Structure 1
């Protein structure tokens, strides 16, 4: 699948370009996230050298522990800004492999909204069960049918679509993570971030670059089997594909349009890691006492497998983006 048509949604949403993303907008979103009743926390950022992780060469690496965030991932940041800017008690639909859906469901319960999450059939069933526990409906469908299902919900049930990564409010909320990084390391040389649809990568990159860190190199990391942003960089337009990866949270069927524009403007490059490298990353982190899901381990996998160039004697930030992994899932990873 080389291109994705999102049908009905094209005519419903006014186009937003990268020029809409300003430092002022991101700072305002950060204030909203900080004040959110959803309880978003400022996660720790610790030196690699102060962990029991294996040494990783002559560089100063700090790990941003977003796996410790409320609801277990960075997604709550964007959701906090999205819901703050939507009508209370609305009827919303979204699509998610798990982490966004969990934060969406958590926010829906808090705000008294009705919600539905369209999930890919490949997502762990434990995640759909958790989402349903918040009183939100889940419909599992093939990945290629997710957008058609969302469009049906909009047409038949008058539901409002909240995008899980291609949304200005969401991206602005995610930028709060970038600002937190700069408070701990004012001028990082390298920042490594996972990339699925690109919402987190776009938000973090925009916050860092618009704050004046023009020399910082920001890298996105995707699985080899779900490399939509990587292909988008090659084709110079947002691309889709039939995605397959153990990191289901990094495997949406297409790259977001706004995330793509922002990533092309602010991101140095997209690098790829294999599923086996992701599995080893999860295992290595777990052995050091860090519970991180496959999607959340991608940046770490890129660093330990030499995918990031010119790190020697540099100040590097590695973002662990999520920790939603169950005991049953951990049994599938190498000892």
Structure 2
């Protein structure tokens, strides 16, 4: 019997360690981002836990997405013609990799994504097509069938998820047995990878929480319905608002994640402002985990070692001008 390469059972610690080495050696310049104690920043203390923040907003291309992209491109045919769908961060990393490897690419973006993201992606020589969120997969399917492109999924992909797991393995180098880890969740690729890395490394007691916006809670609903579901997503955190949860991320999250908690757009806005005031430029999608912690959405943090992932920092001056001081 052959194992389904896109099943949760295919994810082993050995596979994650192999992917981590691939990410480390990648010519795309992925870095081991800093992880610092909250009490060494000017951020307000909260929840009584010993909190570390993982500064993935300082990653190459400005977000964690380059980790998965580095592993995807390392394992795909050189010189291919790829298509993907993204609200911005995956598209930026995909375009960065396409330029480096000399591959042709196209990013299908939701119309709701900031125009500045489209311009940036196009600057790497990659095409962009903006469509209503509900039509993203239709356009991708058309590109695959009519233009013979290869689809690289931005969150529901084995190579991508195992690449993202490198972040979880880095966390354990600084905090070997965290009590709680809090990670944002859109389609679930990062949350699935980090959770698998931590649990498969033997941290059976670690509680891992995913955080979604209230208006884009596909994984939260998937947990309730016990299958991956979609919805009409709306949130200021556009990177956390894909139209459906990924199948493989859902399987891994059900296996390794304690719960999905929700934050409001107002709480996300406030978190962006608080972080900016402390000198940390974090986009709305990147600060969902922080918003959950400071708004007491994560239970039983008193005296616990907590890791909070700030997953991205791609926010333009035009966007920052819309946030309260």
Q: What is the TM-score when the length of structure 1 is the normalising length?
A: 0.96
RMSD: 0.6
- Secondary structure of 1:319's partner? strand
Matched, 1:117 2:107: yes
Question: 2: distance between equivalents of 1:80 and 1:107?
Answer: 7
Q: Could you tell me whether the CA contact under 8 Å between 2:47 and 2:296 is conserved in 1? A: no
The residue aligned with 2:26 is 36
Distance 1:230 1:55 in 2: 28
Secondary structure at the counterpart of residue 215 of structure 2 = helix
Residue 120 of structure 2: aligned partner:
130
Task: Provide TM-score, normalisation by structure 2.
Answer: 0.98
Aligned to 1:305: 295
Task: State the alpha-carbon separation in 1 of the partners of residues 220 and 48 from structure 2.
Answer: 28
Structure 2 partner of 1:167? 157
Residue 287 of structure 1: aligned partner: 277
- CA shift for structure 1 position 234: 0.1
Alignment of 1:225-244 (within 5 A): 225-244=215-234
Q: 1:227 to 1:236 in 2, by over 3 A?
A: same
Counterparts of 1:15 and 1:83, CA distance in 2: 17
Checking the alignment, whether the CA contact within 8 Å between 2:37 and 2:52 is kept in structure 1 is yes
- For residues 35 and 225 of structure 2, what CA distance do their matches in structure 1 show? 35
Query: 1:61 aligns to what SS in structure 2?
Result: strand
Deviations 1:168-217 (A, max 9, x none): 00000000000000000000000000000000000000000000000000
Per-residue CA distance 1:236-256 (angstroms, 9 max, x = gap): 000100000000000000000
For these two proteins, the number of residue pairs brought into alignment is 322
What CA deviation, in whole Å up to 9, does each residue of 1:298-326 have, x standing for no partner?
00000000000000000000000000001
For residues 185 and 284 of structure 1, the distance between their equivalents in structure 2, rounded to whole angstroms, comes to 25
The aligned counterpart of 2:76 is: 86
Offset, 1:57: 3.6
Map of 2:133 onto structure 1? 143
Matches within 5 A, 1:1-335: 16-335=6-325
Distance in 2, Cα, partners of 1:318 & 1:255: 22
Match of 1:225, SS state, is coil
Q: What 5-or-longer segments of structure 1 have no aligned partner?
A: 1-13
Rounded to whole Å, the distance in 1 between the matches of 2:44 and 2:168 is 26
How far does residue 15 in structure 1 lie from its aligned partner after superposition?
Answer: 6.3
Indicate the larger mover: 181-190 or 51-60. Answer: 51-60
From the superposition, tell whether residues 231 and 57 of structure 1 become closer, same or farther in structure 2 (CA, over 3 Å).
closer
